[in-house]
């Protein structure tokens, strides 16, 4: 789902053994020699699920037309995109514009691949600070978010009614656990989520970790231990299935979509599937331990402009980025991607058009970038020990505290 610095740097070190990116039909189209003379611009994104006929594919092509050029779009899986970006930069063959998962931005910046938005004259002032924070290092932004997605709790209205649970009563961990107990007593299943041993597992655990007041620089804190203990207790009590250990966010959604679970932790991107599930559902924000909305991690991508030898190409690249992210076109972009816009003005337009997005706007407002707060490229060396600790504790192999002690020691070595 999301890349790590280690994977990216390994790919760069092994670049000589890999097939040239140019041979894949990608890379910059500026080989004609004259500065900015090519009428074709290369655009990479992590959306292989969207072909040229999709709303997103058409949106990208339209932005090329507005800029007076043709866009050659290439879509890769997220991990593959990060690896190829590093290799292409090493070969001097980077695309003109690239959409990358927000945790990858800091790694690409460290490798010297991306331009600062300020150097390109791009305005980021309307973007919510917590959203652009994921692509900001040392006070400088290196891209513009096209939007954000994040996590909340979907709930099955019928199951909660059967268990005599009012969704509005779920305000903290205690009330959520009490609701799960009632659901179990009514003979129904409780909650499903992803605790898999990948970045998806960390992504889903972070709302509970942060919601307890824990900090990623101290994995072994009492607050972090409380969060992992909560999950472990749910699995032990049967409120959550043991297969959370192998659930991806997709398979976790599939469980919720069976109509057998009261709650499912998942993201904005499942809204379309929720409407097709065949049962009434609602959405509430993930509660913090003692009440209020828990901070949730921001998902989503940043539009970036890789460094080019031919700097004359930047003017057109800037037009493409502006087309995808300016206020007058962002609504269309985020509708195509099922994202919450990164600006308050466009968020208001989204909620007006679709009131179901209101809890997601609230969630995004409380969200945090995983690499924010100065973590940058340190985040992957923290995330992997964290998801390993979750696996160890939920499998019954060790206590939450011991698992997080080990995780903290591992993170320090990283």
Q: Tell me the per-residue pLDDT of 160-169, one tens digit each, with 9 for 90 and over.
A: 999 999 999 9
Indicate if 187 and 325 belong to the same structural domain.
no
Domain membership of residue 400 (yes or no) is: yes
Residues 6 or more apart whose CB falls under 8 angstroms from that of 53 comprise none
Q: pLDDT class for 91, splitting at 50, 70, 90? A: confident
- 95 phi and psi, to 5 degrees? -70, 165
Per-residue pLDDT tens digits for 131-160: 999 899 889 999 999 999 999 999 999 999
Mean pLDDT of the chain: 88
Indicate if 180 and 219 belong to the same structural domain.
yes
Indicate if 214 and 286 belong to the same structural domain.
yes
Domain membership of residue 341 (yes or no) is: yes
Residues 6 or more apart whose CB falls under 8 angstroms from that of 362 comprise 285, 293
Indicate if 282 and 312 belong to the same structural domain.
no
Per-residue pLDDT tens digits for 199-253: 899 999 999 999 999 999 999 999 999 999 999 999 999 999 999 999 999 999 9
Indicate if 292 and 307 belong to the same structural domain.
no
The CA-based dihedral angle spanning residues 137, 143, 146, 149, taken in that order and rounded to the nearest 10 degrees: -20
Indicate if 219 and 358 belong to the same structural domain.
no
Domain membership of residue 370 (yes or no) is: no
CATH number of the domain within which 345 lies: 3.40.190.10
- 199-211 and 222-237 helices, crossing angle to 10°: 110
Domain membership of residue 53 (yes or no) is: yes
Mean pLDDT on 103-119: 92
Nearest to 342 by CA among 354, 334, 353: 334
Q: How far apart are CA 92 and CA 87, in angstroms?
A: 9
* Domain closes at, from 344, 365, 386: 365
Query: Does the pLDDT at position 29 exceed 60?
Result: no
Domain membership of residue 225 (yes or no) is: yes
Indicate if 285 and 316 belong to the same structural domain.
no
The CA-based dihedral angle spanning residues 399, 5, 215, 238, taken in that order and rounded to the nearest 10 degrees: -40
For residue 32, the model assigns a pLDDT of 35
Indicate if 131 and 169 belong to the same structural domain.
no
Q: pLDDT class for 3, splitting at 50, 70, 90? A: very low
Per-residue pLDDT tens digits for 7-19: 333 333 332 222 2
Indicate if 220 and 94 belong to the same structural domain.
no
Indicate if 116 and 182 belong to the same structural domain.
no
Return left, alpha or beta for 65; rule: phi > 0 is left, psi -120 to 50 is alpha, else beta. Answer: alpha
Q: pLDDT class for 107, splitting at 50, 70, 90? A: confident
Domain membership of residue 205 (yes or no) is: yes
Query: Does the pLDDT at position 195 exceed 80?
Result: yes
Domain membership of residue 70 (yes or no) is: yes
pTM for this entry:
0.80
For residue 33, the model assigns a pLDDT of 33
Indicate if 285 and 342 belong to the same structural domain.
no
How many folded domains does the chain comprise?
A: 2
Indicate if 321 and 249 belong to the same structural domain.
no
- The answer to whether residues 336 and 269 touch, using CB atoms and an 8 Å cutoff, is no
- 283 phi and psi, to 5 degrees? -135, 130
Per-residue pLDDT tens digits for 362-389: 999 889 989 888 888 899 899 999 999 9
For residue 269, the model assigns a pLDDT of 87
Domain membership of residue 390 (yes or no) is: yes
Query: Which residue segment(s) compose the domain that 322 sits in?
Result: 5-148+301-365
């Amino acid at each position: 789902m999301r890349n790590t610095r280690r994977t990216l740097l390994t790919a760069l070190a092994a670049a000589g053994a890999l097939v040239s990116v140019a041979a894949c039909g990608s890379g910059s189209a500026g080989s004609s020699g004259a500065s900015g003379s090519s009428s074709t611009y290369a655009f990479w994104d992590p959306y292989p699920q969207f072909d040229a006929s999709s709303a997103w594919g058409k949106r990208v092509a339209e932005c090329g037309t507005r800029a007076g050029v043709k866009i050659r779009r290439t879509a890769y899986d997220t991990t593959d995109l990060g690896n190829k970006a590093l290799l292409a930069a090493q070969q001097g063959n980077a695309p003109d514009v690239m959409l990358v998962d927000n945790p990858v931005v800091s790694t690409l910046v460290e490798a010297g691949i991306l331009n600062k938005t300020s150097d390109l004259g791009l305005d980021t002032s309307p973007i919510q600070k917590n959203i652009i924070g994921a692509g900001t290092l040392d006070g400088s932004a290196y891209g513009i978010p096209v939007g954000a997605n994040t996590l909340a709790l979907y709930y099955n209205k019928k199951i909660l009614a059967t268990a005599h649970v009012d969704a509005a009563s779920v305000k903290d961990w205690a009330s959520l656990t009490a609701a799960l107990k009632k659901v179990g007593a009514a003979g129904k299943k409780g909650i499903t989520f992803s605790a898999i041993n990948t970045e998806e597992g960390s992504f889903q655990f972070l709302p509970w970790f942060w919601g307890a007041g824990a900090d990623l620089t101290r994995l072994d804190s009492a607050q972090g231990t409380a969060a992992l203990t909560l999950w472990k207790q749910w699995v032990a009590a049967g409120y959550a299935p043991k297969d959370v250990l192998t659930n991806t966010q997709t398979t976790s959604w599939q469980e919720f979509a069976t109509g057998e679970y009261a709650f499912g932790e998942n993201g904005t991107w499942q809204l379309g599937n929720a409407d097709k599930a065949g049962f009434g559902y609602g959405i509430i924000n993930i509660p913090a331990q003692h009440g209020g909305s828990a901070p949730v991690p921001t998902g989503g991508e940043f539009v970036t402009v890789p460094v080019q030898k031919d700097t004359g190409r930047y003017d057109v690249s800037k037009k493409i980025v502006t087309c995808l992210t300016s206020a007058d076109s962002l609504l269309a972009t985020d509708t195509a991607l099922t994202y919450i816009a990164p600006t308050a003005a466009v968020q208001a337009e989204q909620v007006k058009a679709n009131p179901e997005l209101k809890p997601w706007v609230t969630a995004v407002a409380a969200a945090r970038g995983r690499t924010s707060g100065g973590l940058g490229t340190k985040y992957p060396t923290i995330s992997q020990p964290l998801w390993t600790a979750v696996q160890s504790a939920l499998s019954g192999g060790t206590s939450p505290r011991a698992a997080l002690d080990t995780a903290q020691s591992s993170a320090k070595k990283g």
